[in-house]
Amino acid sequence: MVATPEGSSPGSVAIVELVEPTERELDAESADWVRRLSAGDGTRRREAEGELHARLVRIALAEVNRRSGSTPVTGPELTDVAHQAADDAMLAILAKLKDFRGESRFFTWAYRFVILEVSGKLGRHYWRNPPVALDAGQWENLPDRLGINPQQHAEAAGILAEVGRVVQDELTAHQRRIFVAIVVDGIPLDALAARLGLQRNAVYKVIFDARRKIRRALVAKGYLDDQGLEQR
Amino acid sequence: MSELERLDRFLQTDPRDVGCEEAMAVLNIYVDHTVTGGDAAERYPGVAAHLAACGPCGEDFTGLLLAVTGA
């Protein structure tokens, strides 16, 4: 595989490990679903669509229920999110059915759409009743967020000061805003991405780079060992 | 695990990490590999590194895995 070069960011290079054969013989179940969903016979196709949609709704409801403890979205709104996710996933699946090449089983491919729709919609719905405002900057929570207790750890004050210095001095205003929202204020990454109109990967990249910079600074100050993943 | 070890784990960045976009593009393949008993992390180390570090993508992996296994 190709490793991400030093100084670059995740997802910035083509990953040889991900290359899969573009054409595979479909397993019987997958082939049957593709045939039914592509059928010229309208009745047969509509039956398949109805069956698939029912499955997507079931998966979406289970997924929002599983995530209910980590989102401020509750009750009927959570159910609405599930149904919207299933509807949008259905449209995406039908639009991209011709691109399905059997790299995975059909249902694994199809369910990925609905899972990702649930993630995106929960991120957007977060802002209807957010427990934390954007740019709240609750720095007093940083020790808890980083799991460092100044009362129990003699070096905690120095570590927290160094983290603050890196955030202030080594991040751009855009990077600092994202770091504070995610790490300091605990806003879910998908919610922040939705609010700022960014892709999830763009937000992750900022946090990835900030983590690397902070770790290097803490290693330079002798708080952490330099034997990290980057050296392996 | 000590406080410093937990902090270090949070700050560690794996150079193999492929990022959200690449990981989500092959999530179905990765999940099928997992379900069928293959060592997905060995086959796709960059995806495994990402799923271990990115909370939202890790949640999507768990959700898809549960969806296809009916758990």
A35 and A115 part of one domain = yes
Q: How confident is the model at residue A122 (pLDDT cuts 50, 70, 90)?
A: very high
pLDDT greater than 60 at residue A102: yes
Q: Is a pLDDT exceeding 50 seen at residue A36?
A: yes
Question: Domain boundary residue among A69, A96, A128?
Answer: A128
pLDDT of residue A6: 40
Instruction: For residue A73, give the nearest of A184, A182, A194 by alpha carbon.
Output: A194
CB contact under 8 A, B67 and A59: yes
3-state secondary structure (DSSP) of residue A149: coil
Q: Residue A159: inside a domain, yes or no?
A: yes
DSSP letter at A182 equals: I
Query: What's the pLDDT at A199?
Result: 97
Across the interface, of B20, B29, B66, the residue whose CB is closest to A200 is B20
Q: Which residue of B has its CA nearest to A55?
A: B67
Residues A149 and A217 in one domain: yes
Q: Record the pTM.
A: 0.89
- Selecting from A17, A205, A225 the residue whose C-beta is nearest the C-beta of B44 gives A17
Tell me: the pLDDT tens digits for B11-48?
999 999 999 999 999 999 999 999 999 899 999 999 99
Percent of chain A topping pLDDT 70 = 88
Q: Cβ of A104 and B22 within 8 Å?
A: no
A158, A221 Cβ separation under 8 angstroms = yes
From CA A188, how far away is CA A131, in angstroms rounded?
11
**Gyration radius of chain B over CA positions:** 13
The token pair at A191 is: 């919610």
Last residue of a domain, which of A128, A147, A167?
A128
- Identify residue A150 by its one-letter amino acid code: P
Answer whether residue A9 is part of any domain: no
Taking chain A, what is the end-to-end CA distance rounded to the nearest angstrom? 15
Does A95 share its domain with A163?
A: no
Closest-CA distance, B29 to chain A, in angstroms, reads: 5
Is the pLDDT reported for residue A7 higher than 70?
no
Has residue A116 been placed in a domain? yes
Judge if A118 and A189 occupy the same domain: no
Residues A93 and A177 in one domain: no
C-alpha distances in Å from residue A145, one per residue of A56, A150, A179, A180, A184: 36, 12, 12, 11, 7
Confidence of residue A17 (pLDDT cuts 50, 70, 90): low
- Domain-embedded: residue A172: yes
Q: With contacts defined as CB-CB under 8 Å, which chain A residues touch B47? A: 17-18
Give the Cβ contact number of residue A79 at 10 Å: 16
Q: How confident is the model at residue A149 (pLDDT cuts 50, 70, 90)?
A: confident
Is A11 contained in some domain? no
Number of domains within chain A? 2
Q: By percentage, how much of chain A surpasses pLDDT 90?
A: 79
Q: What mean pLDDT is predicted for residues A35-51?
A: 94
Are A27 and A123 found together in one domain?
Answer: yes
CATH code, domain carrying A122 = 1.10.1740.10
φ, ψ dihedrals at A122, nearest 5°: -65, -35
Cα–Cα distance measured from residue A32 to residue A38, given in angstroms and rounded to the nearest whole number = 10
In this structure, are A161 and A90 located in the same domain?
no
* pLDDT at res. A22: 46
Asked if A109 and A211 sit in the same domain, the reply is no
Nearest CA in chain A to B68: A108
pLDDT band at A41 (very low <50, low <70, confident <90, very high): confident
Measure in Å the smallest separation between the Cα of B39 and chain A Cα atoms.
14
Are A118 and A45 part of one and the same domain?
A: yes
Residue A95 above 80 pLDDT? yes
Out of A104, A199, A228, name the one closest to residue B32 (CB): A104
State the pLDDT at residue B39: 94
Residue A151 in 3-state DSSP? coil
Considering the domain architecture, whether residues A145 and A222 belong to the same structural domain is answered as: yes
- Asked if residue A54 and residue A93 are part of one domain, the reply reads yes
Q: Is A90 a member of any domain? A: yes
What local confidence, expressed as pLDDT, does residue A21 receive? 44
A74 in a domain, yes or no?
yes
Residue A11's pLDDT is what? Answer: 45
pLDDT at A4 over 80: no
Q: Is the CB of A223 less than 8 angstroms away from the CB of B20?
A: no
Whether the ipTM is more than 0.90: the answer is: yes
Chain B residues in contact with A6 by the CB 8 A cut-off are 15
The domain in which residue A215 lies consists of 139-231
Contacts of A118 in chain B (CB under 8 A): 63
Which residue of chain B is at minimal alpha-carbon distance from A106? B28
Alpha carbons A139 and A179: distance in angstroms, whole number: 11
Q: Does A29 score more than 50 pLDDT?
A: yes
Count CB-CB contacts under 10 A for residue A48.
18
Compute the distance between CA of residue A193 and CA of residue A6 in angstroms, rounded to an integer: 26
- Phi, psi values for residue A54, rounded to 5°: -60, -40
H-helix segments, A67-188 = 75-96, 106-125, 142-146, 156-170, 173-179
Q: Do A104 and A148 fall within a single domain?
A: no
B10, B14, B67: residue with CB nearest A146: B10
pLDDT tier for residue A25 given thresholds of 50, 70 and 90? confident
CATH code at A151? 1.10.10
Q: Tell whether A177 is covered by a domain.
A: yes
Domain boundary among A90, A106, A128: A128
Residues A132-145 have a mean pLDDT of: 94
